[in-house]
Amino acid sequence: EDWMQSQEYNLPSKEPIILGFSQLGTESAWRIANSTSIQDAAKESGITLIIKNAEQSQTKQFEAVRSFIKQKVDVIAIAPVVESGWDDILQEAKQAGIPVIIVDRSVDAQDTSLFVTTIGSDFYEEGVKAGKYIQDRLRNMPGTIRVAELQGTSGSTPSIQRGEGFRSILGDKDHILFSQSAPADFTEDKGRQVMEGFLQVGEEERPQVLFAHNDEMAFGAIRAIQDAGLKPGEDIIIVSVDGSRKALQILADGQINAVVECNPLLGPQLMQATKEIMAGRTLPKRMVPREDIFTQESAKREMLNRKF
């Protein structure tokens, strides 16, 4: 990348650095932990943070970015609710000479010079981990197995990529049938509602496995499964993603069977990147935290160490 030499951005500025952050919402424990991590890290590193909550609206994110441009912040960070539609607003930031960092989810902009770097998880790999767990777990289960999926927000990177990674492992297996799949917006209420719908079928059509794209949707599904007189974790095998302390507790209790880790604590990395940019250094185009999968055994151990 040669943007530093080309003087496209207004560098350097006087201290303290001002960072405008458009957060996409408050839908989950993951999201709250993500916002808290960013606020704490800003404080610790002496960066002035202006944070705006877009309540799941991309339009509100555009408004936030425009207000940051108007306020002449030094750096803009965006956690984009969906992948598409960012080109114009990113162009506006570029024209104003303000570097942009994409956090958590991605944007599908063709012109990757519109942002400096993306800091966030490998969601495809998370889907792969969920798929491998299910494959292993079902090894000795006879007959066709019906798998249901509670997807996250339509058009969001984690929903698209977790689905694709999961299918890359299970999609071509003759004995696996993707019987039901629908978006439930990463929320507990919607998860419960959509799962209730999934269970309005006869026993021969009922899913035996559920992949929930996050913990909250799994919590909602658990309630729907119980309301239907069934045992979550036994009658229906459940895998979710994130790994909040509450999810690990439920995992340890046996109502969830595995939880794929997704790390929300991106604050320190974001502040580091912000400082590096202001110091005129070049950053890698993508920064990915290391992540694992929690099982019922490891959940008991890890629960207390979990930070959210």
Nearer to ligand GYE, 177 or 293 (CB): 293
Closer to ligand GYE at the Cβ: 194 or 262? 262
Minimum distance of ligand GYE from residue 48's CB (angstroms): 25
> Minimal distance in Å, beta carbon 185 to ligand GYE?
9
Instruction: Give me the helix-helix angle, 267-278 and 29-44, nearest 10°.
Output: 40
When the beta carbons of 151 and 179 are compared against ligand GYE, the nearer one is: 151
Contacts of 142-146 with CB under 8 Å at 24 or more apart are 143/175, 144/175, 144/176, 144/177, 145/175, 145/176, 145/177, 145/208, 145/209, 146/177, 146/179, 146/180, 146/205, 146/206, 146/207, 146/208, 146/209
Name the token pair of 248.
Answer: 């690990």
Closer CB to ligand GYE, 23 or 180, in the complex: 23
| CB 287 to ligand GYE: min, Å | 14
Nearer to ligand GYE, 105 or 206 (CB): 105
CA of 12: how far to CAs of 58, 90, 134, 213, in Å? 30, 20, 51, 41
Kindly tell me which of 158 and 165 has the beta carbon lying closer to ligand GYE: 158
Nearest approach, Cβ of residue 156 and ligand GYE (Å): 7
The most distant pair of C-alpha atoms in the chain lies apart, rounded to whole Å, by 67
Provide the 10 A C-beta neighbour count for residue 80. 28
Q: Which amino acid is at 219?
A: F
At its nearest, how many Å lie between ligand GYE and the CB of residue 210?
Answer: 16
Q: Minimal distance in Å, beta carbon 263 to ligand GYE? A: 9
Contacts with ligand GYE, residue ranges (CB under 6 A): 27-28, 30-31, 104-105, 158, 186, 214, 241-242, 262
Closer Cβ to ligand GYE, 256 or 278, answer by number: 256
Q: Which residues of 196-224 are buried (b: 16+ CB within 10 A; e: fewer)?
A: bebbeeeeeebbbbbbbbbbbbbbbbbbb
Nearer CB in complex with ligand GYE: 41/138: 41
Min dist CB 21 to ligand GYE, Å, is 14
Tokens of 263: 């790390």
Are 303 and 245 a contacting pair, CB within 8 Å?
yes
Whose tokens are 């560098």? That residue is 11
Query: Minimal distance in Å, beta carbon 158 to ligand GYE?
Result: 4
In which order are the strands placed within the sheet that holds 18-23? 48-53, 18-23, 75-78, 100-103, 117-119, 286-287
